[in-house]
Amino acid sequence: MLRILDISEARELFTRKSVRLAEAEQTVAPILDDVRRRGDEALIEYARRFDRLELKHVRVSAAGFPENLAPHFLRAIETAANNIRAYAEMQLPREKWTDCGDGRRLGQIVRPLESMGAYIPAGRYPLPSTLLMTVIPAQVAGVRTICVASPNPSVEILGAARWLGVDNVFRIGGAQAIAAMAFGTASVPKVDRIVGPGNIYVAAAKKLLAGEVGIDFVAGPTEIVIIAAEGDARWIAADMLAQAEHDVEASAVLLTTSRHLAERVAAEVARQLETLPTASVAAEAIRANSAAVLVRSLEEAVEASNRLAPEHLALHDPSLLPEIQHAGSVFLGPMSTEAAGDYASGPNHVLPTSGVARIRGGLSSADFVKIISVQALTPDGIAALAPAVTTLARAEGLEAHARSMEVRLG
């Protein structure tokens, strides 16, 4: 079932996956406009139509949150949250100042966004882990108003929200949820940035509203590339299936110099699928979008991976890391399974897909702050800068700029 291809035969795997948004954009555009115009009235209509909302309001009331969490689940979110928080604190930009010694004191201050919205999928797989990954970095950044939208939040999602102290939780999904958080309604606060994964309609709504509201990125199908010359076929197959079970559009690619390893991994994938509860999804993703690809060298594997700019990149040989230019998140060494990163190791699992890793990394606390430049000039500083500033200002025809310098020179 897992194809074994030579690199020369794998062109379709390395052709950039385009997120098929054009049709979805046409579908969601009227929804966005309707929510903009009619607010809660439209939002509740769509929630009843698409999300099976039975109540007259979309906000989860205090009584809607579970009082207690199962002890094993509570221990799990505590472990994950502590690690996610520590990593987000490490990533947070800091205030800095430098005295240049020539009359210039320069610096930067860091200020949090005032509000954010997290979209939490709750369809085939409700994702409390995504709640942790989106909310905790915003809390670390100091965001005051945190909103969560989820079309049918599970007990675990609601319990995790309560544990994190988030009470702005709304039973809304799809494009209408993105519109509500982007525009604001009587029930849903308007936010500065919307983050989190969703289906193609969520992605289309985020794309159409980018600029009106901040977004993280437009996400496509999830993907992993594994580079290994040798290794335990059971582990590699398990990692590929862990990615494939997300979605029939998911992609799992092994780049290897060893045909023997490729054959053993293919056999292991088939064997493990026999007992995998999510095999109906994973098998289709393996069949349609995945392969073991034979390369002539690990250098060729790295080149191919950099062209693809995968969401997840597993390097069984850590010495290859210096050559990696483009990846959403890197997993070093055979023990570093991508599943650990999905839940509890610390780095964020909200990652760029479809080649977007060429221009940015995953979600972080830095996405929820603004870095504001600050400059303080003394008379000596103004005098030193005046020749350059006045010359450049007059070259651009901006005489008042030049005079605002000269008036200070006495």
Pull the structure tokens for residue 314.
């597993």
**pLDDT in the model for residue 12:** 80
Annotate 295-319 with b (16+ C-beta within 10 A) or e (fewer).
Answer: beebeebbbbbbebbbbbbbbbbee
Q: What is the pLDDT of residues 62-86, one digit of tens each?
A: 989 998 899 999 999 999 999 999 9
Q: Choosing from 156, 245, 311, 338, which is the catalytic residue?
A: 311
Nearest to 58 by CA among 127, 147, 143, 133: 147
Model pTM? 0.94
**Burial class of residue 99, CB neighbours in 10 A (0-12, 13-18, 19+):** exposed
- For the question of residue 312 being annotated catalytic, the response is yes
Q: Choosing from 246, 312, 316, 326, which is the catalytic residue?
A: 312
Q: Report the half-sphere exposure of 34 (CA within 13 A, side-chain side).
A: 15
244 contacts 286 by C-beta, under 8 angstroms: yes
**pLDDT in the model for residue 55:** 75
Task: Answer yes or no: same fold for 3-17+221-346 and 22-219.
Answer: yes
**pLDDT in the model for residue 260:** 98
**pLDDT in the model for residue 157:** 97
Any idea which architecture 22-219 has in CATH?
3-Layer(aba) Sandwich (3.40)
**pLDDT in the model for residue 22:** 83
Whole-angstrom distance, CA of residue 63 vs CA of residue 279: 37
**pLDDT in the model for residue 293:** 98
**pLDDT in the model for residue 56:** 81
- For the question of residue 311 being annotated catalytic, the response is yes
| Residues of the chain predicted below pLDDT 50 | none
Residue 251, beta-bridge partner list: 223
**pLDDT in the model for residue 172:** 95
Domain ranges of the chain: 3-17+221-346, 22-219, 378-410
β-bridge pairing 115-119 and 145-149: parallel
Indicate the angle between helix axes 200-209 and 22-38, nearest 10 degrees.
Answer: 70
CB atoms within 10 A of CB 94: 8
Superfamily of domain covering 3-17+221-346: Nitrogenase molybdenum iron protein domain (3.40.50.1980)
**Distance between alpha carbon 250 and the CA centroid of its chain, in Å?**
16
**pLDDT in the model for residue 246:** 94
